[in-house]
Amino acid sequence: MDRSSAEALAQLLKAVSDPARLQLIALIRASEAGESCACDLTEPLGLSQPTVSHHLKILTEAGLITREKRGTWAWYSVVPERLAEIASVFR
């Protein structure tokens, strides 16, 4: 692995280094439709809406999830290829 790849991977790992962010990824992946509304993610985590939004923003900026605005709500989906990048290091 070259330096550039290591730095990119480190940024991905930093994005998932928080337990709440790991839970968010798991919740979104487990949803039947493969996507989750931000409004449905606060209660399972027991966190406030602003806190959940903060974590979702970090995951979105890392490219681990995508965000689609529908009316007043944002819907999130996991980007499997980005998760595979993380998993490939540990194989």
- Residue 90: per-residue pLDDT: 82
What is the third-level CATH fold of 3-89?
Arc Repressor Mutant, subunit A (1.10.10)
- Residue 91: per-residue pLDDT: 80
User: 49-61 and 3-15 are packed helices; what angle lies between their axes, rounded to 10 degrees?
Assistant: 160
Handedness of CA 43, 72, 18, 85 (dihedral sign): positive
- Residue 1: per-residue pLDDT: 82
- Residue 5: per-residue pLDDT: 85
Domain ranges of the chain: 3-89
Q: Please write the tens of the pLDDT for every residue from 13-65.
A: 999 999 999 999 999 999 988 899 999 999 999 999 999 999 999 999 999 99
- Residue 53: per-residue pLDDT: 95
